[in-house]
Each structure stands twice: as C-alpha cells, then as structure tokens.
Amino acid sequence: MRDVFHADLDALNSQLVAMSTSVTQAMRAASAALLSRDAVQARGVIDGDADINAMQYAVDDEVIDIMTRHQPIAGDLRFILGAVRIGTDLERMGDMAVHVAKIAERDAPGCAVPRTRPIFTAMSEIAIRIADKTTGILVSRDVLDATQFDLDDDEMDAQFDRLMRVLGEGWSHGAEAAVDVAMLGRSFERYADHAVRVAHQIVYLVTGEVHLGRES
Amino acid sequence: MRDVFHADLDALNSQLVAMSTSVTQAMRAASAALLSRDAVQARGVIDGDADINAMQYAVDDEVIDIMTRHQPIAGDLRFILGAVRIGTDLERMGDMAVHVAKIAERDAPGCAVPRTRPIFTAMSEIAIRIADKTTGILVSRDVLDATQFDLDDDEMDAQFDRLMRVLGEGWSHGAEAAVDVAMLGRSFERYADHAVRVAHQIVYLVTGEVHLGRES
C-alpha cells in the first residue's frame, strides 16, 4: 500500500516536472518572439497557455485522488499541499510568458523594446536559466541548489533596475513605449519570482523550514 | 466526529475571512496613503504585510492539522485544497497593497499620480468594493454573488485602459512617472484579479465547476 502511495507521489512530481518544462518552453518562445518580432511565434505561446492551465487542473485532480485513496500522514500532506502550491506558481509563470507574447504580437513587426534589447536578452537568459534550474530541483529535490536561487533573482533585479534607469535617463520613445518596456521587464521579473517561490516551496517540503521570501 | 470536523472547517473559513478583511484594510490604507501622499500610512501597510504572510502560514498549518486529524472525503478535500489556494491569492492581494504603498512612500510628499488622480480614486474604490464582496461570499458561500465579480473586473479593466490612454496622449511628466503610474495601475488591477480568483475558487468549491477565468 505504501509502495502504491509513493508511486502516486512520484507520478504527481512527474506532472510538476512536465509543467515546469512547458512553462520554460513558453518563456523561451515568448522571448524569441519578442526579440525577433515574430507574431506567429507569439500567437503560439498565447494559444498554448490553455494546455498549461489544463496541466494545473490535472495536478489538483491527482492531489484529490491521492488523498482520497490513501490516508497520508502529516509529512506526506506537506508534500501534497506543496504540489498544489507549486502548480499555482507554475501556472502563473505560463501567464507571464503570455504577457510577453501579447506585447510581442501587438508590436510585430515593430520592435517592442527600443534601446533596451540587450537588457531583455539578458533578462530572458536569466529567466530561462532559473526555470531550467527549477525543473532540475523538482527532479533532484536538492535543497542546496534551491538556496542558490536568490543569487539568480538578484541578477534579475539588477537587470530590472538597469531597465528603470534607461527609462529615467533621456528616454525619447514616448510614454507608451516606456510603459510597454516596464511591463515586459516586470513580466520577466515576476516569472523569475514565481520560479524562486517554487524553489522555496521545495526547501519547505524537504526541510519543513519556511524560507521567508523576498518576493513581495 | 463529523461535528468536530465541520467545526474545524468553519474555523478554517473564519481564518480566511479574517485574512480577507486584513488585505482589504491594507489596500484601503495603501490607497489613502497614495492619494493623500502620506508616507507614515504607507510605511504602516509595508510593515503590516508580515502579519498577512503569517496568516497564510497559519491557514496551511490548520489545513495540515485538519487532514491529519480527520480523514476527509473527496468533497471535503476539495474545500480544504480550495482554502490553500484562497490563502495564496489573499496573500498576493496583500503584496499588491504593499506595491502601492512602496511607491506612495517613495514619492511622498510628492504626488505619484499626476494627471491620473481621478482614475486612481476610481480604481481604489473598485478594488476595495471587490475585496469587500470577496469577504462577503467567503462568509455566505453565495455562488450567484460570485458570478457577478466579472462585471466589477470589467470596470477595473476599463479604468486601466483609461489610464493607458492618458499615458498615450501627450503625457508630459516623463517616462519614469509614466512607469510608476502604469505599475500602480497594474497593482490595483492584479489585486482585483486575485479577488476574482478567490470568487472563482468559491464557485468551484460549491459547484465543482471550473470557471475558466480571464485573469491571464
């Protein structure tokens, strides 16, 4: 009975890994669409979000199924609730990719990121790197790795500050473009924040310690 | 035994109601600080967020406690998982109030919302109205009420569009102020989105039907 239970938990974790892989791919495609001004690729990300949302509902259904069929003890319940929470954050990461894709689609073939392209190239790389690591620790449950996420997050924050400075110093592309650039920056930053929340959830699952995040 | 269980569920719901009341109060104070340029009031909202975060952890602990002591059936599990999800959305509403308060604090005694004060007055009223309704349906579990949330959300979206138009038409306060205004607008809008997600959760809890939200 315990073996069936643990096989079910492994299957649940595999669903989270698949979802994490999908939201990484979504942000990779959204970034490429933004930087290459590709409306078709942007549309693909927007349309693909329904699949990611469906994955979240599947995680919830699996959780309810596991709790109904087994009578988990407290430690296992912690893991199971963590899965619900991780599913929520992954779903929001998908939404952030959609935000990027929507601006990319609307502005294509024009450029949504005047004067700031190198910053967005960097933000995209950091976001995807963090998401890849998130998938990695979902697989490995390696808490040491998870604590490293704050450094990546600091890098993202530094790029966001750089973006704000560009908007503050002689910006000549108008308020609307400034708002788009700020919103895009915020979407990458929030994407990373949600990935870091997933990492902190895993720390909590493995150690039981609340890592009071800096995400607010 | 079932009576103890339902008393525990009622206590869990009361925790959510208290949390919803707190995040409503947080946004009320953050809005007042923004509109009256009051740095002290803004700081109060920022410092108070730790209490809201603590309430979320208390909800999670209560959930684990309930599931450990009772062996809930599927329908009850749905409610219990819904409570976890609602706690997450309420915590994010608190974060949005903090975002507003941080900009208000930084710019006080200056005005963070040049030319857009009437729009922010409206957004604040809508946000607080939605949050008050959220608390109300947490108490009443009235699904009919919950379906009305989309109309409030549309009103919020209309104000946000109005804000974007002001930024697009001859904005003369510079890119930095435009970004602040856009970010503030987004914080109010996201606050409302999270409240609507809570309402949709309650629909799901009561009817079992997924309301595919428009929140992304």
**Structure confidence at residue B209 (pLDDT):** 60
Q: How far apart are CA B146 and CA A55, in angstroms?
A: 25
Domains and CATH numbers, chain B: 2-207 (1.20.58.220)
**Structure confidence at residue A76 (pLDDT):** 80
pLDDT band at A209 (very low <50, low <70, confident <90, very high): low
Nearest-5° Cα angle at B71, B67 to B73? 105
Nearest-5° Cα angle at A24, A21 to A25? 85
Cβ pair B77:A88 closer than 8 A:
no
Q: How far apart are CA A144 and CA A141, in angstroms?
A: 9
**Structure confidence at residue B216 (pLDDT):** 39
Taking every pair of Cα atoms in chain A, the longest distance, rounded to a whole number of angstroms, is 67
Tokens of B157: 């979206």
CA distances from B14 to B71, B83, B140 (A): 21, 11, 12
Q: Taking an 8 Å Cβ-Cβ cutoff, which residues of chain A contact chain B? A: 49, 53, 57, 60, 63-64, 67-68, 71-74, 77-78, 81, 84-85, 88, 94-95, 98-99, 164, 167-168, 171, 174-176, 178-179, 182-183, 186, 210, 212, 215-216
Spans of chain B, pLDDT less than 70: 1-2, 208-216
**Structure confidence at residue A42 (pLDDT):** 98
Q: Is the distance from CB of B211 to CB of B204 less than 8 angstroms?
A: yes
Residue A103 CB coordination number (10 Å): 20
Terminal CA-to-CA distance of chain B, rounded, Å?
42
Cβ pair B216:A94 closer than 8 A:
yes
**Structure confidence at residue A73 (pLDDT):** 79
pLDDT tens digit sequence for B125-172: 999 999 999 999 999 888 877 778 889 999 999 999 999 999 988 899
**Structure confidence at residue B214 (pLDDT):** 44
**Mean pLDDT of the region A133-155:** 88
Q: How far apart are CA B174 and CA A168, in angstroms?
A: 8
Cβ pair B95:A215 closer than 8 A:
yes
What is the interface pTM, i.e. ipTM, of the complex? 0.77
Q: How far apart are CA B86 and CA A35, in angstroms?
A: 36
Q: How far apart are CA B87 and CA B91, in angstroms?
A: 6
H or E element in which residue B7 lies: helix B2-36
Cβ pair B212:A53 closer than 8 A:
yes
**Mean pLDDT of the region A59-88:** 85
Residue A2 CB coordination number (10 Å): 8
